A and B are shown apart, each in its own frame.
Chain A
Amino acid sequence: DVKVTQSSRYLVKRTGEKVFLECVQDMDHENMFWYRQDPGLGLRLIYFSYDVKMKEKGDIPEGYSVSREKKERFSLILESASTNQTSMYLCASSPGGGGGYEQYFGPGTRLTVT
């Protein structure tokens, strides 16, 4: 079974803090994704990575950055947390190769910025 794990289920941070969300997958997948999910807006793609050290902006990259130093780990960084970044953050992975593959999700991190 593919396993995608996220470092925290719940996180509370203060405005202006630098926040790190970690995601690890154990199936040697090329592609990894960070989404945020908000009521009424669905899942929105923040960043994705198709290889080590490679990244692409998604629909809402502002205020976020990412790091992928190893194939199995994809980190989302909130440079200076703001209250409008309070959300559910979901990490996912899929095999690479141009599409046609299944996407697997982690359990999510509920981030609250106060």
Chain B
Amino acid sequence: KQEVTQIPAALSVPEGENLVLNCSFTDSAIYNLQWFRQDPGKGLTSLLLIQSSQREQTSGRLNASLDKSSGRSTLYIAASQPGDSATYLCAANTGNQFYFGTGTSLTVIP
């Protein structure tokens, strides 16, 4: 069964800093890797989707990379802002199922 791990569980950075969130998965036979943002008490908002054939995807200040062979994905956030404070989750898609990490809770300090 696919297992997804996110490290660190929590991260606190000063505003303006660039940061990297990590996601690892045990089974490299994935269709895609999706990054989500979750604000407290809310649902998940999709940030980026990387297909298995892709190496990276970019949206604004966000860049996600995928290395299937090593079972890793990273989410890079440039010039962090207080509004980026949230929990970030990754999910690996295998067939019709999605396997989630437990998330990284990010706090950006003004």
Measuring CB to CB, which residues of chain A are less than 8 angstroms from any residue of chain B?
4, 31, 33, 35, 40-43, 45, 48, 50, 58, 88, 90, 92, 94, 96, 98-108, 110
Residues of A within 8 A of B95 (CB): 98-99
A4 nearest in chain B by CB position: B43
- 17 A-B pairs with CB atoms under 8 Å apart are A43-B89, A45-B97, A48-B97, A50-B96, A58-B97, A92-B44, A96-B96, A99-B94, A100-B31, A101-B93, A103-B98, A104-B46, A105-B36, A105-B44, A105-B46, A106-B43, A107-B42
Residues of B within 8 A of A92 (CB): 44, 98
Residue of A4, A48, A90, A99 with highest tally of chain B CB at under 10 A: A99
Residue of B43, B51, B102 with highest tally of chain A CB at under 10 A: B43
Complex interface residues of chain B between 29 and 62 (CB less than 8 A to chain A)? 31-32, 34, 36, 41-46, 49, 51-52
Measuring CB to CB, which residues of chain B are less than 8 angstroms from any residue of chain A?
31-32, 34, 36, 41-46, 49, 51-52, 89, 91, 93-98, 100-103
Residues of B within 8 A of A103 (CB): 34, 46, 91, 93, 98
Main secondary structure of the interface of A (DSSP, over half): strand
CA distance A65 to B102 in the complex (A): 25
A31 nearest in chain B by CB position: B96
Residues of B within 8 A of A101 (CB): 31-32, 93
A-B contact count (CB 8 A): 66
Q: Is the CB of A107 within 8 A of B43?
A: yes
CA distance A96 to B94 in the complex (A): 12
CA distance A104 to B49 in the complex (A): 11
CA distance A100 to B89 in the complex (A): 18
List 19 other contacts, CB 8 Å, given A41-B102, A48-B96: A42-B103, A43-B100, A45-B97, A50-B96, A92-B98, A94-B98, A98-B31, A99-B94, A99-B96, A100-B32, A101-B32, A102-B34, A102-B49, A103-B34, A104-B46, A105-B43, A107-B42, A107-B43, A108-B41
